[in-house]
Amino acid sequence: MSQDSPTRPQRASWLRAGIWSLGFVAVLWILEATDYVSGHQLDSLGIMPRTDAGLIGIVFAPVLHFGWAHLYGNTLPALILGFLVLASGVGRGIVATLIIWVVGGVGVWVFSPPGSITAGTSMLIFGWLVYLIMRGLFSHKVSQIVIGVLIFLAYGSLLLGVLPGQTGVSWQGHLFGAIGGAIAAWLLNDPPQKKAR
């Protein structure tokens, strides 16, 4: 057995995470191109608060954007944070993302102002950010704590986006995405005492 063989599963996990995160971002760009060609008809599939039609936005809003600039701003954080969430296990990362998706979407649908439409991957980005920062606190794994600290130092200032005040920005999406990330970190990491038993 070669000396580097124990790292192969880890490398395979990173490769799968990279493929999934690149694939997700590719879908975002394909959807924005489709939206552009169609005259921005997909924008109506965002979350419209407290309306029956707006419920479908919970499914579609995190993969839709209001123009190229909106998508540009979300692309790099989505690639980096999405990869890091998936790198410790694609299945767990997908479940964490679904929790963030649902909690964030429902929060926006309930609490956003009437007549607004919310879309954008930033809901997931805020959820992934909080998930990465907090999961080490629940799992007590040194590697995850270190990643959480580094992510906080690199992206922690983004968390100010959960506060109201910036015109045209859904702080509700940021806030409830972050809450979804905290819930995912709590649900998906067993405490050390449970593992010991």
Tell me the domain boundaries of the chain.
5-196
| Location of structure tokens 């007590």 | 140
Three-state DSSP class for 88? coil
Query: What is the model's pLDDT at position 164?
Result: 79
Query: What is the model's pLDDT at position 17?
Result: 94
Query: What is the model's pLDDT at position 191?
Result: 60
Three-state DSSP class for 30? helix
Name the class of domain 5-196: mainly alpha
Q: If you ran DSSP here, which 8-state letter would residue 118 be given? A: B
Query: What is the model's pLDDT at position 35?
Result: 97
Q: If you ran DSSP here, which 8-state letter would residue 142 be given? A: H
Query: What is the model's pLDDT at position 193?
Result: 54
Q: If you ran DSSP here, which 8-state letter would residue 39 be given? A: T
Angle between helices 90-111 and 122-139 (to 10 degrees): 120
Tally the residues of the chain: 197
For residue 125 the two structure tokens come to 């980005």
Query: What is the model's pLDDT at position 197?
Result: 47
Which of 145, 12, 123, 10 shows the shortest CA–CA distance to 57? 123
d(CA 134, CA 128): 10
Q: What is the pLDDT along the chain (197 residues), one digit of tens a residue?
A: 344 444 777 788 889 999 999 999 999 999 999 999 999 999 999 999 999 988 999 999 999 999 999 999 999 999 999 999 999 899 999 999 999 999 999 999 999 999 999 999 999 999 999 999 999 888 888 888 888 888 888 887 777 777 776 777 889 999 999 999 999 999 998 665 544 44
Query: What is the model's pLDDT at position 50?
Result: 95
Is the full-model pTM beyond 0.85? yes
